[in-house]
Amino acid sequence: MPSATSPSVSPPSVTSPSVTFADLGVPATLTAALSAAGVAHPFAIQTAALPDALAGHDICGRAPTGSGKTLAFGVPIVAALARAERWSEPRRPRALVLVPTRELASQVEEALSPLARAVGARTASVFGGVSYVKQRAALRQGVDILVACPGRLEDLLSQGDLTLRDTDLVVVDEADRMADMGFLPAVKRILDATATPRQTMLFSATLDGEVDVLVRRYQRSPRRHEVEPDATSTGEVHHVFWKAETPERVALTAAVVAAHAPAMVFCRTRHGADRLTRRLGAAGIVAAPIHGSRSQPQRERALAAFAAGSVQALVATDVAARGIHVDDVACVIHFDAPPDAKDYIHRSGRTGRAGRDGIVVTMVGGDQAKAVRSMQRSLGVPQQVITPDPASLPASPATPRPEPVRHPRAGSGDRSGGRRAGSARSPQRVGTRR
């Protein structure tokens, strides 16, 4: 078996058609639930990590976004709960999954719920931006698997709404994103409040710096498994860098989205995302903003509309770079060039997922040229910054979607009710990050 000093390294996040979940030791009840959900074969990170995780070892996993991490930790959690046949008491969850964003919390819970129901376990998610009432009610009823953002979880802990003394199954997902957002002090306090001994699984796109501190402090001889990132792989994702100052970027973005929707467009600021959404609308593109200043219902409606095909583009800040998991995004546009290589990878990882091709377009102003050249060299992507030419982009590789239907409320912050994004019935699914 792999050791902490000798990680197993798997190829990019592709399925393993010759391997089944049963081959990896997944119990029959869960293999049946996976099959019912249309998940027939494991992805690389699942093939690598599941045997050790099912055996109860701590897991330290490095894998890119969209590589299948949710099931790599979700299946072992549910299997352990079923095996113990000891369900959670009110306000005392047995398993905890920590995630950095509201969207990821909702989507992870949605992905784990069918597995949990198959063995009689209950799930819930807690995060900010919404009322405490339903979250407290769920905790009072008893939650076996709690998916949580650190801030709201600490609020609930301080108010006596739950305790983590029985929590002996813990996952820290997107640990490097936690570090980027300043959550690691809270993560440490939360981990210190959980049971010992416990099984701790940590997944991250990078395992250095502050993330390595978590590994050394909170894991016991973790089994390390790594999947090579494929967000910048040639032949899967087409990367171009265009010379474009701010005044010309709106028209270029509209042209690219019109030909290569569904698209995600990244801006540096919340105000910039709102302004670009309005300008794209004036150019005939149906777009919706998603960022930290939008309410949770607004963000969920935007995701649902994007998944259903009634929105051509999500215009996002970096809060969405790894907090949103939507299949079949054809194109990513960096309206504002990312500040560094890490952000470029995280943003660009929205396309080219699960073996599909994708397009990444970066707009580069004159004042950004030097920083972008440095980023290009470190990533090994094309180093030319060329004159914009939307017609030169390859044909959109994503699954065709219905023609967008204008929905005036999709990006306007309406106050009408709406279902969670994960409940949208559409050709693609939100939150099925296997």
- Give the model's pLDDT for residue 428: 31
- Give the model's pLDDT for residue 411: 39
Q: What angle do CA 118, 133, 149 make, to 5 degrees?
A: 65
Helix (H, G, I), strand (E, B), or coil: what is residue 248? helix
- Please give the helix or strand (H or E) that residue 141 lies within, else none: helix 133-141
- Give the model's pLDDT for residue 236: 73
Per-residue confidence in pLDDT tens, the chain, 434 aa: 333 434 554 444 455 568 899 999 999 999 999 999 889 889 999 999 999 999 999 999 988 766 789 999 999 999 999 999 888 899 999 999 999 988 889 889 999 999 999 999 999 999 998 899 999 999 999 999 999 999 999 999 999 999 999 999 999 999 988 888 889 999 999 999 999 999 999 998 778 888 999 999 999 999 999 987 543 333 478 899 999 998 899 999 999 999 999 999 999 999 999 999 999 999 999 999 998 788 878 888 898 899 888 999 999 987 665 566 676 889 999 999 998 888 888 888 888 776 678 899 999 998 888 889 889 888 888 778 889 999 989 876 544 444 444 433 333 333 333 333 333 323 333 333 44
Q: Rounded CA gap, 139 and 209, in Å?
A: 34
**Main-chain dihedrals φ then ψ at residue 78, nearest 5 degrees:** -65, -40
- Give the model's pLDDT for residue 412: 38
- Give the model's pLDDT for residue 322: 59
Sheet strands side by side (includes 331-334): 237-243, 358-364, 331-334, 263-266, 313-316, 287-290
- Give the model's pLDDT for residue 303: 86
Domains, the chain, with CATH or none: 8-227 (3.40.50.300), 237-422 (3.40.50.300)
Q: Rounded CA gap, 255 and 280, in Å?
A: 10
- Give the model's pLDDT for residue 354: 60
